[in-house]
Structure 1
Amino acid sequence: MKRLYAVLIAVFGVYALASIIYFLKGDLFHIPLALVGSKADPHTFMTAQEIGNAESLSRIRSLAYFLSSPLQMGLLLVLLGVGVKFRMAAEKLFKASFLQIVVFVLLFTLLMDVLFLPVDYFLYKMDQSYGISTETLFTFWSDKGKDFVLNLLGSIVMVLIFKWVLKRSPNRWWLWFWLISIPLILFLTFIQPVVLDPLYNDFQPLQDQVLKEQILQLAAQSHIPADQVYQVNMSERTSAINAYVNGIGGNARIVLWDTILNKLQPDEILTVMAHEMGHYVERHIYLGIAYGIALSFIGFWLAFHAYRWFLGRWGARWGIRGEHDLAALPVLLLIATVMSFASAPAQNAFSRVIEHRADVYSMKMTGDGRAAIRAFQQIAKVNLSPVTQPKLVQWFRGSHPTIMERILYFEHYDH
């Protein structure tokens, strides 16, 4: 094991050094010469300081992502022995399997949160230093506490289901677990806008009645069953701007961050809202769920075989007693983490397609390319977003087309 750990540390050290050089020193944000001086050129609508801050913050965030993901994988591997100790402690405390599961999940979730707290806190301080985060320390810890409780409860439920399915169908648990995950995903999608979101923010009806009527008119033209528009007090957390339409059926909610109301003009807001409505009208949420379900089918099948292979080959070395052992759960989490990182390009590619479709819908509804260009120029300024990204970052982190690509598309309607 010591040799394995030494090799892992050496490999991560080389990877980390290469990542640091690439993200902190590389020429990552140049635009084509043909676009210099165009509306997609950040120098035409951002100051040199804004451009520098946007690029610096993007470098830091990308570096944190590409370092923390493999670091989490390595830590999960190293902590397999700790998982065995947690299982032993749970068994000493309680005889009931349910309580053992609760104790084990609690200890392991708490350990992972504590280990990655420095990364989260570092990014929080970075966002503060660049003026993106307006979050107080109290709000930061409050959100962390809510995240912990929700993750803990969700993890306990998932582990209980996994153990139940594994006991009854040891050779087909991946298929049954996948089938059970489908209604769970739909349920969470349904309750998020009305139950989960209000745990973090205060929602109230949009105060600007003129803008509200304009948005509801767009919604009526899009056949969205909404008679209310909400604004949410995101200015308590961030200076960034955003808006969204989420929920299913009668639970659909049209929501604007209060920051967008302060920083965009009404015609710019309408192009953004038409984009968000495009997601609803073209059923992107359903397409996303279907895509996720299809991807997870493959993922569960691969996880089943990787889990069984790993435990058969390495489990005994860590003191794991088999597939039913609570101490084996971090192995499953490790596999899921690796697969999530590996599948990020496929997920983001799909997301970029539907985001472009929503841009197309926005222009279909408003035809106002000039306002859309101004909106995304302002989004780049306020959110400190570079107009372009290197392909590696776009593959793994780019859920939307770049701002440069979006502005170039909107120019077709700039008249």
Structure 2
Amino acid sequence: MTENALILPPALLTSLVFGLVLLASVVVKFWLATRQIRAVARHRAAVPTEFSQTISLQTHQRAADYTVTKLRFGLLELALGSATLLGWTLLGGLDWLNASLLSAFGPGYPLLQPLALIGIFALINGAIDLPLALYQTFVIEERFGFNKITFRLWLGDLLKSTLVGMVIGLPLVALVLWLMQATGSLWWLWTWCAWMGFSLLMMVIYPTVIAPIFNKFQPLEDDTLKERVTRLMTRCGFSAKGLFVMDGSRRSAHANAYFTGFGAAKRVVFFDTLLAQLSPSEVEAVLAHELGHFKHKHIIKRIAGLFAFSLAGLALLGWLSTQLWFYAGLGVTPNLPVQLGGTVPNHALALLLFILTVPVFTFFLSPLMAQLSRKHEFEADAYAAAQANAQDLSNALVKLYKDNASTLTPDPLYVRFYYSHPPASERIARMGGKIVPV
């Protein structure tokens, strides 16, 4: 056998690499999930010693059962998602859809056919995910007492989100496709500029235009809590356009609080479920934690990181979109270039293939991203302990873990790979709080 005979064609090599990396990611995800299931099940019979005076055995076992149920359902999602990905790529689904639309539209539609390709692809993917979303909400969340949404409201949310996605998404995709077609070899740079501008615009308009479509936001009416929160923000040098309460209880029993918006449009939003569960001092401590993220510029760092990664990704796509092996190796027959008689460019195909395959490769960066996020959480906790009260934040964490049925006995390796927030015991120990009955 000659040396040249050992060299695989680029398209075949691409198929093999993609298939092997996909298989490796599925195996690792399955292994980590089963480790987490075993760890949670192994400790189900007894509450961890440090929480024994705070969490009842019944509550602990409910959290364990909820965690295991979600993990097992996640394995089903993993199998379906992997099969769908293979169907779109190596098994020819995207190639068939592209060819069908080329035949339906005929020549002379250099923008409409690619736009239809992306739109129909999104609708098919949404339809595949729909039964899983229904089961997650109306079976799993219902079984453990978290679901509060009616089917009518769920259906209304689905219709609203679809319409909002079309109103915002279709013009944006059309702009991106036009830039890819009209701005030459540096289309990726122009597209990046448009995407960053859109992202910043969404940060400004989301709180006041989009979010109210789905939820009601009422000004915080508790004068005592409002005064306490205002003093905290003044002490921390933070200003917001308003303090609002969101009707999260219409959909779920889970609790949360967050900042939204950008610049002068920043808002502080409390779920009504959070205010019902925590005391005013605990709410203040939770808010101080969120302010810690701003104090340490975590939000700006994350936005800057997103901008940098998106620029690198689009630059890579700019190169891959010119390589025939990129298409052929992922199960797609590229459209003929214009200079060879083609009328429809490959931009939409390249975009979809990139969106489909990048998560497979970047999955292995998850531990690094999770570690950075946990570092930020520890820093925000330390800031909250200095600006409010460490014990109040500890009490709030215990209540939230309890009410959200979060497991207190995760597998350490699963934590390092996935957890964006450190386990409760680590957070409380690090900030010097105590786990006391609340």
The alignment's TM-score, normalised by the length of structure 2, stands at 0.80
Secondary structure of residue in 2 paired with 1:204 = strand
The alpha-carbon deviation at position 315 of structure 1 amounts to: 6.6
SS in 2 for 1:386: coil
Corresponding residue of 1:378? 399
CA distance in 1, matches of 2:414, 2:162: 28
CA–CA separation in structure 2 for the residues paired with 1:194 and 1:348: 31
In the alignment, which of 370, 373, 379 is matched to residue 357 of structure 1?
Answer: 379
* Partner secondary structure for residue 26 of structure 1: helix
- Amino acid corresponding to residue 353 of structure 2 in structure 1: V
Which residue number in structure 2 is paired with residue 190 of structure 1?
A: 204
Q: How far has the Cα of 1:310 moved from its partner?
A: 6.2
Q: Partner letter of residue 376 of structure 1?
A: L
Q: Show the counterpart of 1:234.
A: 248
Q: Please report how far the alpha carbon of residue 290 of structure 1 lies from its aligned counterpart in structure 2 after TM superposition.
A: 0.5
Matches within 5 A, 1:26-175: 26-28=38-40, 36-38=48-50, 41=51, 43-63=52-72, 64=74, 66-67=78-79, 70-77=82-89, 78=91, 79-88=93-102, 91-92=105-106, 96-124=109-137, 125-175=139-189
Structure 1 pair 76/344, CA: closer, same or farther in 2 (3 Å)?
A: farther
CA contact (8 A) 1:29 1:388 kept: no
Deviation string, structure 1 residues 105-155 (Cα, Å, up to 9, x no partner):
332211110111122122112112111221111222222223323334444
Letter of the 2:374 counterpart? R
Cα deviations by residue, 1:382-414 (Å, 9 ceiling, x for unpaired) = 111113533454355422222222121233589
C-alpha distance 74-183 of structure 1, shift in aligned 2 (>3 A) = same
Residue number in structure 2 paired with 1:403: 424
Question: Aligned equivalents of 1:391 and 1:150: distance in 2?
Answer: 40
For residues 6-34 of structure 1, the C-alpha deviation after alignment (integer angstroms, 9 at most, x for no partner) is x9799599849955981575224778xxx
| Residues in 1 aligned to 2:112 and 2:28: alpha-carbon distance in whole angstroms | 40
Deviates more, 1:316-325 or 1:393-402: 316-325
* Correspondence for 2:257 among 220, 243, 264: 243
Deviation at 1:99, TM superposition (A): 3.7
Task: Give aligned-pair identity as a percent.
Answer: 23
Residue 258 (structure 1) aligned with residue 267 (structure 2): no
1:394 alignment partner in structure 2: 415
* CA–CA distance in structure 1, aligned partners of residues 332 and 401 of structure 2: 49
**1:330 alignment counterpart:** 352
Deviation at 1:242, TM superposition (A): 0.8
Match of 1:297 in 2: 311
SS in 2 for 1:287: helix
State whether residues 241 and 266 of structure 2, in contact with CA within 8 Å, keep that contact through their aligned partners in structure 1: no
CA RMSD after TM alignment: 3.5
- Name the CA shift for 1:338/1:213 in 2 (closer, same or farther; >3 Å): same
Per-residue deviation at 1:167? 2.2
The answer as to 2:296 corresponding to 1:282 is yes
When the two structures are aligned, how many residues end up with a matched partner?
404
The 3 A distance-change label for structure 1 pair 274 and 183 is same
In the aligned structure 2, how far is the partner of 1:336 from the partner of 1:160? 22
C-alpha distance 244-310 of structure 1, shift in aligned 2 (>3 A) = farther
Q: In 2, distance between residues paired with 1:109 and 1:14?
A: 23
| Alignment check: 8 A CA contact 1:276 1:358 kept | yes
- Of structures 1 and 2, the larger Rg is shown by 2
- Write the letter of the residue equivalent to 2:129: F
* Aligned partners of 1:193 and 1:247 also within 8 Å: yes
What is the rounded CA distance, in whole Å, between the counterparts of 2:419 and 2:412 in structure 1? 9
Shift of 1:302: 3.5
- DSSP 3-state at the match of 1:399: coil
Q: Specify whether residues 146 and 23 from structure 1 end up closer, same or farther in structure 2 by C-alpha distance, changes over 3 A only.
A: farther
Instruction: Report deviation, 1:370.
Output: 1.7
Residue ranges of structure 1 left out of the alignment (5+ in a row): none
Q: CA deviation at 1:283?
A: 3.0
Tell me whether 325-334 or 382-391 shows the greater mean CA deviation: 325-334
Partner of residue 363 from structure 2, selected from 323, 334, 341: 341
Question: 2:153 is aligned with what amino acid?
Answer: T
Instruction: Write the letter of the residue equivalent to 1:345.
Output: P
Q: Is the 8 A contact 1:303 1:332 kept in 2?
A: yes
Encode CA deviations 1:225-273: one digit per residue, 9 max, x unaligned: 2363110100011111111122222111011100011111111111001
CA distance in 1, matches of 2:141, 2:208: 28
Q: Cα distance, 1:62 vs. partner?
A: 3.9
Q: Residues of 2 paired with 1:23 and 1:122: CA distance?
A: 24
